[in-house]
Amino acid sequence: EYCLPYVKVSGMFLPYKSGRIEEEMREGKHAVYLLGGEIEDVVSFVLPGTDMERTILKIKKQKAAPKRYPRKAGLPSKEPIR
């Protein structure tokens, strides 16, 4: 919610994530859609020389986000998009 409203329509948002993201993706799929995005790809990899897994999501901005987004600081964590 903090970044996707600022991405230009037809642009890409590539969040860099750590750990297991399955639950976060499941919970955030509606928010991505609501903000005009669509998850196109999920790329997981292990950082060289470590055992740390990272993931990059490829989110394409399909349409403009509603005018009420982004919301004021602190509100997304208190009242996340469901």
Radius of gyration of the chain (CA): 14
Q: How confident is the model at residue 44 (pLDDT cuts 50, 70, 90)?
A: very high
Between the CA of residue 51 and those of 15, 21, 54, 65, what are the distances in Å?
Answer: 20, 16, 10, 37
pLDDT, tens only, 9-41 = 999 999 999 988 999 899 899 999 999 999 999
3-state secondary structure of 28: helix
In a domain, 13, yes or no: yes
Number of domains in the chain: 1
Given a contact cutoff of 8 angstroms between Cβ atoms, the answer to whether 29 and 72 are in contact is no
In a domain, 74, yes or no: no
pLDDT, tens only, 65-82 = 999 988 888 888 888 887
Range of the domain at 57: 4-65
Residue 69 carries which side chain, given as an amino acid letter? Y
pTM of structure: 0.85
Strand partners, 38: 60
